[in-house]
Structure formats: structure tokens, C-alpha cells
């Protein structure tokens, strides 16, 4: 079976500077894959290229065995997306938005409506009934976004910082749902700054720095000896104590 994600020599260049520089990556089906890196390393650019939001300068992308962008529509039909930026229409209620997204994925209106109501219940947002999304807190917005990514039961999830701004209860709920999805055969590709989350959830991970993959493998392979993922991350990416240079801050 083809991997869920196969990226080969992917590049994205902005004004002569490579944001993603020859990235090659394989994500097996059914895996929970963490994509880590410091700010500005190229995580969001990569995920935006995978979703077709921005075109790659060069290289190839295959999702679920289909080439991107040649089979763009077929691929989009099978992936669930939680982007970094808000993908929510602020003037709709949660229920209306979820139904709308379901219909974008070709679900019949009654089916979309029913799933939307069930997802709102699952994400503990059913009591927000008549409130438009503009009124939601950041955590509630993330929950709606995740609910929207589930509505068409995708095979592959692409998630950019899905737990950002979500409280502990909400994050726990979201993690349980995602783990359940993986158990049922779905693949999850997520970026996160919270290394503990990645360590606990993911079975595979890659670390990107300056647009290049600097470490990749299963969690066991990445951690050697008593090292935590944070130790590996800091060692791989490198962090100097720059603040020591600011005497006034000392």
C-alpha cells in the first residue's frame, strides 16, 4: 500500500531564500506523525503545500497514493484539515458552519446536518447553539475547526498546531478522538510546539530546521537512552543562550 504522504525533494523559494529546501519525507499509513521545528523552520509552509494552498517551487507530493496537484480534488475529498489560520466563517453558528463544510465534501444536506449536530455534542459545543462563531473563544474555535475536519471521515488529517489555545479538558478530548481515528486506520500529520503532546501521541516524528529535515524516525529511534524529545529537539536544532548577550536583561 502506498504511504499516506510521500514528499520528494520539495522546495519553496521566496525571493531567492528557501523556506523549504529539498524536503523528502514518507509518512506510513495509519501512523500518528509529529512534524516539529522551531518558529520559521518551514512547518506551516510544508503543510500549506501539502494542502494545495500554496504551490511548490519544485519537487513532488503524493498524498494517499495520488499526485498533487494533478489529482487535487480527489485528494482534498479524502483529507481533513485543521489549518493554523482560522478557516471559520465568523457569521455562521457552529452548527451552520459544520453543515456547510459537510456539504463542501459532497455530503447530502440531512447527513451533513445530523453529523454536524453530533460533532457539536461530541466537542461539547451543543449548548452554544445560537451563538455565531465570532463569539467563540480561541479554544472553542479550535474545537469547531477539528470537528469540521472530521465531518467527512477523512483518511488523512493535516493539522497545524491543533491544540494551540485549547484548555486541558478540550485538549484531552481532542487527543482521544485523534487516537481513536488512528486506531481505525486514519493517518495524522500534525505540527505542534508542545513537545510533550507529540511525545505522548505520535509514533513517528520528523524535525525540520531551516527548511531541511534534520531528524526523522520512530519515537524510539529519535530518543536515544534517557533523552526526552525536548532534549533531542534542542540538540538537533541548536539553541544558544542569546539572552546572555543582553546585559540590561541580566
Partner 1 sequence: MIRAILRAQFLSMRPRKGRAVRGSAIFSGITGLIFYGMFAFFGFALMLLFSSPEESGNFVQVLSALLLVVMLYWQLAPVISASFGASIDLRKLMAYPIPRHKLFLVEVLLRTMTSFDMLVVVAGVAIGLLRNRLYGASAAPYVISGALAFIVMNILLSAGIRSWLERFFLRTRFKEIFFLILVIIGLTPQLLILANVKKPASLLRFAPSQVVWPWASMARLMLHQGALLSALAAAAWMCAALLFSRRQFERTLRFDGATAQRKERELAPDSFSEKIFRLPSRFLNDPLAALVEKELRTLSRIARFRMAYGMSCFFGVLIFAPSLRRQHTDSGFMQYALPLMAVYGLLVLGQITYWNSFGFDRSAAQGYFCWPIRFRDALIAKNLTVMALMIPQIVLVSLVAHAFHVPSSPAKVLETFVVVSIAALFWFALGNMFSVRMPRAMDPDKMNQMSNKLQALTIFAAPVVLLPVVLAYWARAVFSNELVFAGILAIAAILGAIFYAVGLDSAVNSAIARREAMLMELSRADGPISVT
- Residue range at the interface with partner 1 (CB under 8 A); choices 21-29, 32-40, 92-100, 234-242: 92-100
Separation between Cα atoms, residue 182 and residue 176, nearest integer Å: 10
Rounded to whole angstroms, how far apart are CA atoms 57 and 160? 21
CA nearest 68: which of 88, 48, 87, 82? Answer: 48
* Residue number with CB closer to partner 1 (53 or 194): 53
Scan residues 99-138 and list those touching partner 1 (CB under 8 A). Answer: 100-101, 103-106, 109, 130-132, 134-135
Which one, 153 or 235, has the nearer CB to partner 1?
Answer: 153
Non-local (6+) Cβ contacts of 223 within 8 A are 229, 232
Q: How far apart are CA 117 and CA 114, in angstroms?
A: 5
Instruction: Please provide residue 158's backbone torsions phi and psi, each rounded to the nearest 5 degrees.
Output: -115, 115
Residue 176 in contact with partner 1, rule: CB under 8 A: no
**Calpha distance 149→76 (Å, rounded):** 11
Nearest to partner 1 of 137, 228 (CB atom): 137
Q: Applying CB under 8 A, which of residues 16, 39, 85, 242 lies at the interface with partner 1?
A: 85
DSSP string of 4-19?
Answer: SEEEEEEEEEETTEEE
Query: 102 vs 201, which CB is nearer to partner 1?
Result: 102
Q: Write down the least CB distance from residue 231 to partner 1, Å.
A: 35
Single residue of 18, 57, 96, 231 touching partner 1 by CB under 8 A = 96
11 part of the interface to partner 1, by CB under 8 A: no
CB of 131 to partner 1, least distance (A): 6
Position among 31, 44, 46, 51 found at the interface with partner 1 (CB under 8 A): 51
Can you say whether the dihedral through the CA atoms of 191, 195, 197, 200 is positive or negative?
positive
Of 134-173, binders to partner 1 (CB under 8 A) are 134-135
The DSSP bridge partners found for residue 21 are 11
Which chain residues interact with partner 1 by CB under 8 A? 15, 51-55, 73-74, 76-77, 81, 83, 85-93, 96, 100-101, 103-106, 109, 130-132, 134-135
Amino acid at each position: 500500500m502506498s504511504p499516506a504522504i510521500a514528499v520528494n525533494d520539495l522546495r519553496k523559494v521566496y525571493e531567492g531564500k528557501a523556506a523549504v529546501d529539498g524536503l523528502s519525507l514518507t509518512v506510513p499509513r495509519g501512523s500518528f506523525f509529529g512534524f516539529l521545528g522551531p518558529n520559521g523552520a518551514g512547518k506551516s509552509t510544508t503543510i500549506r503545500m501539502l494542502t494545495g494552498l500554496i504551490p511548490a517551487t519544485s519537487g513532488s507530493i503524493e498524498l494517499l497514493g495520488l499526485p498533487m496537484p494533478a489529482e487535487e480534488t480527489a485528494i482534498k475529498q479524502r483529507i481533513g484539515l485543521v489549518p493554523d489560520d482560522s478557516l471559520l466563517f465568523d457569521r455562521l453558528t457552529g452548527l451552520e458552519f459544520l453543515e456547510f463544510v459537510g456539504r463542501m465534501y459532497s455530503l447530502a444536506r440531512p447527513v451533513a446536518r445530523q453529523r454536524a449536530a453530533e460533532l457539536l455534542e461530541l466537542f461539547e459545543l451543543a449548548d452554544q447553539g445560537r451563538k455565531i462563531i465570532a463569539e467563540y473563544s480561541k479554544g472553542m474555535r479550535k474545537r469547531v475547526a477539528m470537528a469540521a475536519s472530521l465531518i467527512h471521515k477523512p483518511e488523512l488529517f493535516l493539522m497545524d498546531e491543533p491544540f494551540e489555545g485549547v484548555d486541558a479538558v478540550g485538549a484531552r478530548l481532542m487527543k482521544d478522538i485523534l487516537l481513536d481515528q488512528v486506531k481505525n486506520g486514519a493517518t495524522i500529520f500534525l505540527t505542534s510546539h508542545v513537545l510533550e503532546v507529540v511525545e505522548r501521541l505520535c509514533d513517528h516524528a520528523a524535525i525540520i530546521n531551516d527548511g531541511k529535515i534534520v531528524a526523522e524516525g520512530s519515537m524510539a529511534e529519535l530518543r536515544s537512552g534517557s533523552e526526552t524529545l525536548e532534549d533531542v529537539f534542542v540538540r538537533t536544532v541548536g539553541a544558544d543562550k542569546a539572552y546572555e548577550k543582553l546585559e540590561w536583561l541580566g
